[in-house]
Structure 1
Amino acid sequence: MAIRVNPTRMELTRLKKRLKTATRGHKLLKDKRDEMVRRFMGYIRRNKELREEIEEQLGAAMGRFAIAGARMGEAAVTEALLCPAREATIELGKQNIMNVDVPTIKYTAIEGGTDLPYGFAFTSGELDGAVLDMAALLPLLIELAEVEKTCNMLADEIEKTRRRVNALEHVMIPEMLETIKYITMKLEDNERGNITRLMKVKEMMVSENQN
């Protein structure tokens, strides 16, 4: 459907400039979308790797906790884990990916302390292994949170960019092309009409001069 405009040369020039800008914007948005999809796929692969690794290690740790609970009793396990172990800090930041500010989470373990905050006299080796497994899992869990949030934000931005690309490609640019064609045809019709009138005037003048 053509845009309703006055079929003038000034309007034709303005529309051609708009079309040029829209075409350039369409290309830039497509390039942005393609690059975001490429990076998004990288984060998706990392997300899958982290989930598989975490699920495997978490399953092993929970199995050890179950064995420790069976041997020591649930109350003894709970009591052994009451005291905090090593401290850590979390630093939140952000990085820019294709004009999308995604979060960064930096985990730093504070030196000192111990990974096993209890005595060994009344605890089992399975509890030691489970606690160490969970300590090793913490950096991976933090990275997974960062990667998943990045994936969600990139997915939202990719969808917004896709809608803009489609609007330009299937609505705005075709409408402008159709309108440019309409104005061009109108101007050509007007030009032919002017030429016809001029020829008739010339014929009339020639006829009058002959008489």
Structure 2
Amino acid sequence: MASTHVNPTRMELTKLKRKLATAMRGHKLLKDKRDELMRQFLILVKENMQLREEVEEGILNANQNFALARAMMQEEFLDVAMMVPKQEVYLEAETKNVMSVEIPVFKYHTKSSDLSDIFPYGYAFTSGDLDDAVQSLSTVLPKMLRLAECEKGCQLMAAEIEKTRRRVNALEHVLIPEMREKIKYIVMKLDENERSTQIRLMKVKELVLRDALEERRRKD
């Protein structure tokens, strides 16, 4: 047993009690962190599912409109229309701290604020379905970026939840019980030592009294 390797002294007992109090405070803090991480994780998962449905629907609409445009337009006109993009998008990646987890945050801005610049072609030889496809992709872009944030955030938070859960379990089922067992062992040993000391003192007192009585008898 691990407790038998402990030096059963009052100093060691005081040290272990201090460590136990710290471990119990840490256990409570880690449990609170785990619970809050789980709450944030579930919120993020719910948003992730909703965003994925919206993004998949937006991409499906864009693909359908591109297919209709390809069917309505000559292939060389479609290739020329999409050859030179008019608008440019710049992406910035940052992070935010959520319960000690660094969640990515993506921000973007466009070269031009004119909304019509998403169409890199004239309207004379293009189909309205092509306009709808480009518009669908432009609309779904912010949701795609947010979806990427959510999915990466879910992965990072799941890993942190698992790590925190292991720490909580280690404290709850290993470290804290071991320290309590050691404290119990030291208290038991100290009580035994105290009882032994008392018994020795009583025997010494008994011997002293006996010697005193014998000495008095000899004098009498």
Unpaired segments ≥5 residues, structure 1: none
Within 5 Å, give how 1:148-187 maps onto structure 2: 148-187=151-190
Aligned to 2:144: 141
Aligned to 2:27: 26
Q: For 1:46 and 1:176, how far apart are their aligned partners in 2? A: 43
Aligned to 2:106: 105
Q: Tell whether 2:121 aligns with 1:118.
A: yes
Q: For 1:76 and 1:177, how far apart are their aligned partners in 2? A: 80
Q: Please, which of 107, 113, 135 is the counterpart of residue 132 of structure 1?
A: 135
Moved more, 199-208 or 184-193: 199-208
* SS in structure 2 of the partner of residue 114 of structure 1: helix
Moved more, 80-89 or 43-52: 80-89
Moved more, 18-27 or 145-154: 145-154
- Provide the aligned C-alpha RMSD in A: 1.4
Aligned to 1:91: 92
TM value normalised by structure 1? 0.94
> Where in structure 1 do 4 or more consecutive aligned residues deviate above 3 Å?
73-76
Aligned to 2:218: none
Within 5 Å, give how 1:40-119 maps onto structure 2: 40-109=41-110, 110-112=112-114, 114-119=117-122
1:35-75 superposed Cα distances (whole Å, 9 cap, x missing partner): 11111111111111110101111111111111111222444
Q: For 1:76 and 1:122, how far apart are their aligned partners in 2? A: 7
- Displacement after TM superposition at 1:2 (Å): 2.9
Q: For 2:191 and 2:173, how far apart are their aligned partners in 1? A: 27
Bigger radius of gyration among the two: 2
- How many pairs align? 211
* SS in structure 1 of the partner of residue 118 of structure 2: coil
Does the Cα contact within 8 Å between 1:2 and 1:176 map onto a contact in 2? no
Does the Cα contact within 8 Å between 1:102 and 1:153 map onto a contact in 2? yes
Q: For 2:154 and 2:76, how far apart are their aligned partners in 1? A: 40
Identity of aligned residues (%): 53
- Displacement after TM superposition at 1:7 (Å): 0.6
Q: For 2:74 and 2:205, how far apart are their aligned partners in 1? A: 115
